[in-house]
Amino acid sequence: MELDAELLQKLEDSLDTSNPEGGEVPIKIIGFGEISLVFEIADDPMGAVAYKRLPIFDSIEQVERHIEIYNRYNQLFADLGVNIPDFGAAWVRRQREAEGKKKAKKQDDTTPITLFCAQQMLPTEAVCHKVIHQVPAEEARRLVRGILRETKKVWDHNLGDPANAIGMDTQVSNWILMDYEESAPHVPEVQSFTYIDTSTPLYRVDGVEQIEGKLFLKSVPGFLRWALEGSVLEGIINRYYDWRLTTIDIIANFYKEQLPALIPDLVEEANDFFATEAPEHAIQPISLEELNKYYKSDKRIWSVFQAFRRFDRWLKKRKGQSYDFYLPPKIKR
């Protein structure tokens, strides 16, 4: 997918992260995570495209290297038979006001670089974290099992070639249930999924992580980064290579989706799946107590993190500095 770099430059130059939908280039937010937002551009000449904005790069070499591994990451999924949307990426430098010239704009090698990752737009009502609210409990259970079957393609590869493993964030909000019809909500016995969270390329070559680890910390307030470097950051990345942990995260997300009554059955479903459809992976059964402990910890970490980010934005704006990241509204957990 070839992106319109000129349009993205105009968007970046006029973007106010406190009010992203009020810029010169009209956008509509269609989703957001803990760190970034997903949006579409009104009257986009590219057609129906979903964008993710990543203002985290310091040099051309760094961003072009990231695009290279991003392209490879998408190809790895395609090679394993995991459906992904058509995709593309382009980077721009934000133009800033030159000193002493209010309207003059300039760029130099110190101006931060923003990467836009884009995907073919798929029906937003078919994103699985929305589907689970529209179907009966037994069909939500079937959907989670279907997602586990899709992820097995990746973890079968990792089991056979651990030095060249692929990581992924498999929570329900990162999957589209294809052929889903909002007018007649239903999860069929045989499902087809598309995986959409491919903008963070997590894979290893000969045991070496390909993504630059410090990019994970760019949205973290500077006064906290020292605490997350080293083994802490390594642990955060490693969880995306652990099938059991990512499955716990899938199920724990049902707390965030305000569907706690489904969780005991989903734990049972996951344990049955691992025992009957993936015994070669020797996944230890997940307990409800373990899952509850995981979610409480995860909820506390993200709540504190977002509070620090809001403080960091307030501090920067008070000093007259720009804040490059979008902060989502308060998330009900």
* pLDDT exceeds cutoff 90 at 19: no
* pLDDT exceeds cutoff 50 at 102: no
CA 164 vs CA 230, 237, 247: distances in Å: 22, 15, 21
95 in Cβ contact with 108 (< 8 Å) = no
pTM: 0.86
Confidence band of 99 (pLDDT split at 50, 70, 90): very low
DSSP alpha helix (H) spans, 80-179: 128-131, 137-160
The reported pLDDT for the residue numbered 46 is: 85
* pLDDT exceeds cutoff 90 at 78: yes
The reported pLDDT for the residue numbered 131 is: 97
Confidence band of 98 (pLDDT split at 50, 70, 90): very low
174 secondary structure, DSSP code: G
The reported pLDDT for the residue numbered 319 is: 79
56-65 average pLDDT score? 92
193-205 average pLDDT score? 95
147-164 average pLDDT score? 98
The reported pLDDT for the residue numbered 230 is: 66
The reported pLDDT for the residue numbered 320 is: 79
142 in Cβ contact with 180 (< 8 Å) = no
* pLDDT exceeds cutoff 90 at 221: no
**Other Cβ atoms within 10 Å of 18 Cβ, number:** 11
134-161 average pLDDT score? 97
Greatest mean pLDDT among 217-226, 231-240, 285-294 lies in 285-294
Confidence band of 328 (pLDDT split at 50, 70, 90): low
CA 5 vs CA 46, 68, 157, 164: distances in Å: 11, 17, 36, 33
| Cα distance between residue 313 and residue 327, in whole Å | 9
Confidence band of 213 (pLDDT split at 50, 70, 90): confident
Pick from 27-36, 133-142, 174-183, 284-293: least confident:
27-36
For residue range 261-309, list pLDDT tens digits in order.
Answer: 999 999 999 999 999 999 999 999 999 999 988 877 766 666 666 676 7
| Cα distance between residue 251 and residue 172, in whole Å | 9
The reported pLDDT for the residue numbered 97 is: 46
The reported pLDDT for the residue numbered 81 is: 97
The reported pLDDT for the residue numbered 100 is: 38
The reported pLDDT for the residue numbered 331 is: 60
172-192 average pLDDT score? 95
Confidence band of 68 (pLDDT split at 50, 70, 90): very high
229-257 average pLDDT score? 87
| CA nearest neighbour of 253 among 172, 177, 144 | 172
Pick from 131-140, 179-188, 189-198, 295-304: least confident:
295-304
* pLDDT exceeds cutoff 80 at 323: no
* pLDDT exceeds cutoff 80 at 257: yes
